[in-house]
Amino acid sequence: MEAFQEMVSLQLTRRLISAGQVLIDRHDLPAAETEIKQAIIETMVVDYMLAGDVYERLLPAIRSASQPISDPVRRSVTSWAMREMPYCYLCGTEVDSSADGHRALTLDHVWPRAYGGNSDLENLLGACQSCNEAKADKPSWAMYPVQSYVAGLGVQAIEYIPKVMRFAVQARAAKQLARDEDCSLRDAYLKLGRPDRPVVLNEATAVDLFNLEFSY
């Protein structure tokens, strides 16, 4: 149920940000504002007064969604990552800023840009290229196809679960930690440390996504 609610609100957020980007590209801001508020009213079924509040919160997210990582920020996060955390925060593989292929260091938006994540130091961590591509713009474990993933896998097969499923378990752990300790999602990933293999919480029941956890 929690996953379903989270997925619905994320879908709404994404839809409003996409619509806002199109409208701001098409018009200048004062003209776009009226149309974006109309889109908010139609999408969220809220009255006009509340649409103003939503608009004020939405506008920075629309701007962030269109903003690439600047060269100084890229240099700064890259050198920090190579010094302090030379591994992929999603799978633990060692990464190198001068490597090619899957060991190449890429910068991943912890909260995706497509959902309004900032391209700044507080929202970027180093990831290997294959994880960055696999994660794409998924912001949360709820966005993975968790509902259909009750696989009846044997415990010995845990390490073979698909990469995106391991992300989902890790994203769930990070979100829980961020909530418990009232910290940012990025700090939660840093506290979780280098990702290890997920463990089964209860071996007596069928192995499904909800029965996996990273120990931390």
From 12-20, 23-31, 128-136, 187-195, span contacting Zn ion (CB under 5 A): 128-136
Residue 91 or 146: the one with the smaller Cβ distance to Zn ion is: 91
Task: Name which of 149, 140, 99 is nearest 88 in CA terms.
Answer: 99
* By the rule CB under 5 A, 81 interacts with Zn ion: no
* By the rule CB under 5 A, 131 interacts with Zn ion: yes
CB 10 within 8 A of CB 115: yes
Residue 119 or 170: the one with the smaller Cβ distance to Zn ion is: 170
- The burial of 107, by beta-carbon neighbours within 10 Å (0-12 exposed, 13-18 middle, 19 or more buried), is given as middle
Q: Which of 39, 62, 90, 125 binds Zn ion (CB under 5 A)?
A: 90
* By the rule CB under 5 A, 88 interacts with Zn ion: yes
CA–CA separation, 39 vs 16, rounded Å? 7
Tell me which amino acid residue 144 is: Y
Residue 131 CA, distance from chain mean position: 12
From 48-56, 122-130, 140-148, 158-166, span contacting Zn ion (CB under 5 A): 122-130
Question: What DSSP character marks residue 207?
Answer: B
Phi then psi for residue 207, to 5 deg, are -85, 110
* By the rule CB under 5 A, 36 interacts with Zn ion: no
Measured from the CB of residue 127, what is the shortest distance to Zn ion in angstroms? 5
* By the rule CB under 5 A, 32 interacts with Zn ion: no
* By the rule CB under 5 A, 174 interacts with Zn ion: no
Q: Which residues bind Zn ion (CB under 5 A)?
A: 88, 90-91, 93, 128, 131
